[in-house]
Structure 1
Amino acid sequence: MRKPATLALSLLLTCPIALGQIIQRDLGDFDLKLGTSPSRSMAQGLVKPASSDSLHGGLDLSHDSGWYFGQWSPSMGLNPASPLEVDAYLGFKRPFDQTLGYELGIIHYNYPQRRTQDSQEFYGGLSLLGSRFGAAFSNDPTMRNSTLFADLSGNSPFDIGISVKYTAYQLTNAVAVANGNEVAGFNDWSIKFSRPWRGIDLKLIYSDSSLRGSNCSAYAGHNPQCDGLLTFKAERTFY
């Protein structure tokens, strides 16, 4: 994976890309995108490339047939605190019509500057009558997790979006917590209600997990915290 990492890095350094900008070019039946912002999400939005505070970027190449390939580096490794990471993905996405479509793919996570094993994530997505469903399975060296996602915005009344995510984690090595207990696995989940209002996206999110008390020291899931959390957000895009 070192050669693809060098390829992605050289392409980015030779292109004058501003922060958050994406350059797009048509190459016959192919569509090429280069940028410092992720140009794609997978599994109907469940899997999204991550970014760090350091220099990051990547490329995405898709074909009219539905096949796509890409590389994304959340960190270019220029800062010792943020080692180089190269994520390569391959997938196939195909809509049958305006109401039905599907997607399948795999992501390979590579860390050339770390003494850690590479990991893979398999994902799939389905769109049906405006609603989106996604599933992903990851075999990270420290844990394995399976995630299910549903966005029912296409069928919700009163223009209220509803999305739900549930993840089961299985730790490679059990984590010791207080009172001599060990945590070998846990679950977490979240539900989000969203609605646009005068150009502002209003979001109400509730998240929780199966861990409680001292067992929360072993939590390493998707949610901001282990215990139940209710969050309200108001976001507005100015450009």
Structure 2
Amino acid sequence: MTRPLLLLGAALLFSPALMAQQMKRELGDFNFTLGTTPSRSMAQGLISPSATGAFHGGLDLSHANGWYIGQYAPSMGVAPGSTLRLDSYIGYKHHFDSTLGYEVGLIHYSQPNIAGADSHALYGGISVLGSRFGGALRDNPSNRTGTLFADFGQIPLLNADLTVKLAHHQLGTPFTIGDGSQVSAFSDWSLELSRPWLGIDLNLIYSNSNLNGGGCDAYAGINTYCESVVTLKAQRSFF
């Protein structure tokens, strides 16, 4: 997939004529999806679970035999201070029946406007009785990351979806903080409850890491903030 194709897709995403978050079409044995949210179940949890910019979107092409290819831009780089990010992936997904399946794939992360920012990740997971459990290993020389992801689906008593993520980061070069000590590795995690309400997606997120104080200068993980934070996010799609 080329950058012009992605930008064309993004233009379609923000057309007021579209009435859904995802537009799907069948092309023979292929299914084509264009939308503002990642269409891959495992990729949504392991590639870009949330957008980093105001404008985001992607496209996905899958075959009836289980193979798929796609590209998602968590940031289109059009907002001030943001840069274009592209997450491209290829993978295979198979269901044994309605309760059990698996998925494996390869992700390529890139920031075309920044030299040397590319990296890769292998991901995979299983779906069991409506829940999803996955993991990914990202090969980035400056920060090698292993991620575990679990989406438990809707919790009956809370009437909300529960998602948990845990990551461990190994820095390629130890980071020296103010007191002279070094940080060579750290872990972070997040727990998210989400549910729709009056057309709005409500998300309650708790995030934290094992770094604190001056050690947070070395933080570059899956969360927005290094230390313990509770965030309430309300998001409404334009279409």
TM range (shorter): 0.7 to 0.9
Structure 1 residue 135: Cα displacement: 0.7
User: What is the correspondence of 1:132-211 to structure 2 with a 5 Å cutoff?
Assistant: 132-153=132-153, 156-160=155-159, 161-193=161-193, 204-211=204-211
Partner of 1:18: 15
Counterpart-to-counterpart distance in 2, 1:4 and 1:143: 27
Structure 1 residue 171: Cα displacement: 1.0
Structure 1 residue 82: Cα displacement: 4.4
Partner of 2:3: 5
SS of the residue aligned with 2:146?
Answer: strand
Say which is worse superposed, 45-54 or 94-103, in terms of deviation: 45-54
Counterpart-to-counterpart distance in 1, 2:138 and 2:125: 15
Counterpart-to-counterpart distance in 1, 2:199 and 2:14: 29
Counterpart-to-counterpart distance in 2, 1:166 and 1:107: 19
Residues 1:76 and 1:153: Cα distance change in structure 2 (over 3 Å): closer
Residues 1:229 and 1:58: Cα distance change in structure 2 (over 3 Å): closer
Structure 1 residue 140: Cα displacement: 2.5
Tell me how large the CA RMSD over aligned residues is: 3.5
Counterpart-to-counterpart distance in 2, 1:175 and 1:208: 19
Counterpart-to-counterpart distance in 2, 1:220 and 1:24: 35
User: What's the TM-score, normalizing by structure 2?
Assistant: 0.78
Residue-by-residue CA offset, 1:90-115 (whole Å, 9 max, x unaligned): 01111111111111111112333322
Residues 1:152 and 1:218: Cα distance change in structure 2 (over 3 Å): same
Residues 1:180 and 1:77: Cα distance change in structure 2 (over 3 Å): same
* 1:43 counterpart = 2:42: yes
Residue-by-residue CA offset, 1:30-69 (whole Å, 9 max, x unaligned): 112345x234134274224464547654431111111101
Alignment-mate amino acid for residue 122 of structure 1: L
Residues 1:157 and 1:72: Cα distance change in structure 2 (over 3 Å): closer
Query: Greater Rg, structure 1 or structure 2?
Result: 1
Structure 1 residue 174: Cα displacement: 1.4
Residues 1:236 and 1:118: Cα distance change in structure 2 (over 3 Å): closer
Counterpart-to-counterpart distance in 2, 1:22 and 1:201: 15
SS of the residue aligned with 1:216?
Answer: helix
Residues 1:71 and 1:194: Cα distance change in structure 2 (over 3 Å): closer
Residue-by-residue CA offset, 1:189-227 (whole Å, 9 max, x unaligned): 123345677887665433221112211111111223222
Contact 2:33 2:39 in 1 (8 A): no
Unaligned runs of 5+ in 2: none
SS of the residue aligned with 1:222?
Answer: coil
Residue-by-residue CA offset, 1:118-169 (whole Å, 9 max, x unaligned): 2112111211122211111112242111111122336x55255433211000
* 1:221 counterpart = 2:221: yes
Aligned length: 234
Say which is worse superposed, 161-170 or 46-55, in terms of deviation: 46-55
Counterpart-to-counterpart distance in 2, 1:64 and 1:102: 15
Contact 1:42 1:48 in 2 (8 A): no
Contact 2:92 2:103 in 1 (8 A): yes
Counterpart-to-counterpart distance in 1, 2:13 and 2:238: 24
Residues 1:172 and 1:134: Cα distance change in structure 2 (over 3 Å): same
Counterpart-to-counterpart distance in 2, 1:99 and 1:58: 28
Partner of 1:111: 111
Contact 1:54 1:82 in 2 (8 A): no
SS of the residue aligned with 2:215?
Answer: helix
Residues 1:213 and 1:159: Cα distance change in structure 2 (over 3 Å): closer
